[in-house]
Amino acid sequence: MIKRIRSDQLRPGMYIHDLNCGWMDHPFVFNSFAVEDEEKIGKIIATGIRELYIDSSRGLDVEDAQTHDEFHAELHEKITALAASHEVRAHPTTLMEEVTVAKVVHQDAHKVVHHLMSDVRMGKQIEVAHMSPMVENITDSIFRNKDAFISLARIKKKDEYTFQHSVSVCALLVAFSQAMEYEKNVILEAGMGGLLHDIGKMKIPDYILNKPAPLTEDEFAIMRSHSAIGRELLEHTPGVPEAAIIITGQHHERYDGTGYPGKLKDQQISPLGQMASIVDVYDALTSNRIYHKGMEPTAALKKLFEWSRFHFNAKLVERFICLIGIYPVGTLVKLESGMLAVVVSPGHESLLRPTVRIVYDINKAQALTPHDFDLSSQLDSIVQYESPAQWGIDPYHYL
């Protein structure tokens, strides 16, 4: 049986089913393994892991621990209540109106970031003037309809993760800052920070940055240095706003002080730094990388909610979940009627009842001519999200 326990409840003889730390590349070869001695337990705790999952059928048990299923049922109930209570705001433009423009901005942004990071790798100066118009274009698209750009930003190539992740974090941080009602000049600076937050990785050796396997402890330490390297690099770059420097240096800090590079805690981390840490983890969780298959957004949001007990500002995580929506645009969902559908627009009245595009009939095992269905005015409802790979469906083909 899979159970959730605190890391200080670990004992030799237990079997770890899941280290529960997908927000970072932990220094262990595997995510599941037997606990052999106290030394390994100490290493796990030192890594910053506060809660994890054990398999009591393969090792010692903690009898009163909550099972995985019990905890996730409770988690689902809480996050559903949160989504149901959120007031949905209308976009100035529809998804279809904005997506064509967003595609062009998205492609241009990738080119700009690719050139930027290539220049940094070769020791050239960062040209902030070349980046500002791109951040403004992304911001304008987000302001018109955030779902258009953000849904596109989920599409990544494994070998270009670092570049595309930077564009995604920029867009998500802009949308988050807008939801927090910051002034536009602050939002633009936050977007610049998102675009530059991983710039320090360009000083990390390629064999570590693109390693198709878990990192060794020494490689892990080198990888963790990228935040401090990036901050120092930007501090010596003319024209970079202070907010962007803060975001770059703090996006791996954690609310409980277990992050890096400064082990900052609570309000020692700036509000934008706290927001960047949430956004960075969400995009990392939902992205396919060289040795990591991305989660579906709904599962990633549940993980953020779970980890907000320690690693993140819980109130900010709640705001972010309401911003993204429990079933974000592009999510494949199963309806009570037995239909598979792609979410194409947030609900007019509730995040739990979006507009979906029905594409497949499970009962008849056949594809359907896509047609839209506004769940806010229908008796049908979402049962759960589904894995597109399992059904051989590309949701973005239908957006």
> What are the Cα distances from residue 11, in Å, to 30, 37, 41, 264?
18, 8, 7, 29
Full DSSP string of 16-58: EEE---TTS--SSS-SSEE--SHHHHHHHHHTT--EEEEETTS
The set of residues, in sequence order, having a beta carbon less than 8 Å from that of 239 and lying 6+ positions away, is 128, 129
Rounded Cα distance, 110 and 2, in Å: 41
Q: SS3 for 108? A: helix
pLDDT the model gives residue 322: 92
pLDDT the model gives residue 24: 58
Tokens 């993760």 appear where? 161
> What are the Cα distances from residue 63, in Å, to 5, 18, 360?
10, 18, 43
Per-residue pLDDT of the chain (399 residues; tens, 9 = 90+): 999 999 999 999 999 999 998 655 577 878 899 999 999 999 999 888 999 999 999 999 999 999 999 998 999 899 988 888 888 888 899 888 999 999 999 999 999 999 999 999 999 988 888 899 999 999 999 999 999 999 988 888 766 888 899 999 999 999 999 999 999 999 999 999 999 999 999 999 999 988 877 788 899 899 999 999 999 999 999 999 999 999 999 999 999 999 999 999 999 999 999 999 999 999 999 998 777 788 999 999 999 999 999 999 999 999 999 999 999 999 999 999 999 999 998 887 788 999 999 999 999 999 999 999 999 887 899 999 999 999 999 998 898
pLDDT the model gives residue 22: 66
Phi, psi angle pair for 93, to nearest 5°:
-130, 160
- Summarised one tens digit per residue, pLDDT across range 236-256 is 999 999 999 999 999 999 999
pLDDT the model gives residue 347: 80
By C-alpha distance, which of 355, 357, 363, 353 is closest to 393? Answer: 357
Tokens 């237990």 appear where? 14
Preceding omega of 238 cis (within 30 degrees of 0): no
pLDDT the model gives residue 228: 97
pLDDT the model gives residue 25: 57
- Summarised one tens digit per residue, pLDDT across range 328-338 is 999 999 999 99
pLDDT the model gives residue 339: 97
Number of Cβ within a 10 Å radius of residue 139:
23
